[in-house]
């Protein structure tokens, strides 16, 4: 068994060592430009077109992340990047759900208890007690009920807060009001106090966090974006903060990363910025999941996490 590996964002040495340990029978190599030697599987993050194009020998391509928007965008820009009839398999959780829940819950409770406002008061050396937001009306809406979104919604609900969830297809989650499809989006948004975005990034969800969306939320609502920067119309958020439509925002993802030093988000005190760190890919868990799925595929057994290319996730 021959496996190709590629990532532009980190030293491949540790990944290659762990993959060889988990798959001792495999020949695992890091892809280099011009490498067209046969391979059975490819494990990639943001691969170049030349790595995958025309590789009819592959049995599957594994994406080193739950989001596949980058590799699908490359396919749209350069058709044929993904070999035809070769499944694209994304990571499922691998420790990301717990991290994401920690991040989002921290942000939600910070806003409910008004710690963001206390930070502004501290900067002014002002001692002033603020009433917390009423729990019963502090409705949290989770956009996107995949593995991460579902877990986040359940954890938030465990704090006794009212939680709604929105997905493209109908879902049932105990204790959470669920909405599905474009026809129910406005009803989902109506009165939401904290909007948490965990949607996959597809052409249909591009720019979904815009002035029209903000106008449907509760007055002085909060935004938490932990999905993709391309979901957010940045000018609309700045305008909504200026008018008070949005009280504050926590952003982990941006259209351009790293966020440029001169970007207006840096100087907006009501925006909390983190460097795309809400849920990091954990190498050991990822390698174990990929190795398990490669084993299943070699035995001609089904695997989960296969991406529907047309839907984008």
Find out whether 195 and 250 touch, Cβ atoms under 8 Å.
no
Whether 128 is catalytic: no
Cα-Cα end-to-end distance for the chain: 27
Sequential DSSP letters for 76-123: HHSTTSSPTT--EEE---TTHHHHHHHHHHHHHHHHHTTHHHHHHHHH
Whether 276 is catalytic: yes
Find out whether 300 and 293 touch, Cβ atoms under 8 Å.
no
Find out whether 195 and 189 touch, Cβ atoms under 8 Å.
yes
- CB-based burial, 203-212: b 16+ in 10 Å, e otherwise: eebeebbeee
Token pair recorded at residue 148? 């991460």
Find out whether 312 and 302 touch, Cβ atoms under 8 Å.
no
Query: Which candidate in 113, 263, 270, 276 is catalytic?
Result: 276
Token pair recorded at residue 100? 């994401």
Find out whether 248 and 265 touch, Cβ atoms under 8 Å.
no
Q: Which of 145, 201, 199, 140 has its CA nearest to residue 169?
A: 145
Query: Which candidate in 151, 154, 164, 228 is catalytic?
Result: 228
Active site residues per annotation: 228, 276
């Amino acid at each position: 068994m021959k496996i190709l590996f590629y990532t532009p964002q980190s030293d491949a040495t540790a990944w290659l060592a762990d993959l060889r340990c988990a798959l001792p029978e495999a020949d695992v190599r890091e892809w280099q430009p011009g490498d067209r030697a046969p391979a059975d599987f490819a494990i990639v993050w943001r691969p170049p077109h030349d790595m995958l194009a025309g590789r009819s020998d592959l049995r599957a391509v594994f994406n080193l992340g739950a989001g596949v928007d980058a590799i699908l965008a490359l396919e749209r820009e350069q058709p044929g990047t993904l070999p035809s009839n070769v499944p694209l398999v994304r990571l499922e959780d691998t420790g990301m759900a717990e991290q994401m829940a920690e991040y989002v819950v921290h942000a939600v409770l910070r806003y409910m208890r008004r710690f963001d406002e206390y930070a502004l008061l501290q900067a002014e050396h002002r001692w002033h007690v603020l009433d917390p937001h009423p729990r019963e009306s502090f409705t949290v809406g989770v956009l996107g009920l995949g593995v991460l979104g579902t877990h986040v919604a359940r954890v938030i609900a465990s704090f006794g807060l009212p939680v709604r969830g929105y997905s493209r297809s109908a879902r049932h989650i105990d204790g959470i009001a669920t909405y599905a499809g474009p026809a129910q989006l406005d009803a989902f948004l109506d009165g939401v106090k904290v909007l948490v975005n965990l949607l996959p990034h597809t052409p249909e969800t591009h720019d979904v966090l815009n002035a029209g969306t903000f106008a449907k939320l509760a007055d002085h609502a909060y935004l938490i974006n932990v999905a993709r920067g391309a979901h957010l119309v940045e000018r609309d958020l700045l305008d909504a903060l200026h008018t008070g439509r949005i009280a504050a925002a926590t952003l982990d993802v941006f259209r351009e990363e790293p966020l440029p030093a001169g970007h207006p988000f840096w100087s907006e005190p009501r925006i909390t910025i983190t460097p795309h760190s809400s849920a990091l890919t954990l190498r050991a868990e990822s390698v174990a999941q990929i190795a398990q799925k490669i084993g299943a595929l070699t035995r001609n057994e089904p695997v989960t996490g296969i991406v529907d290319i047309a839907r984008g996730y």
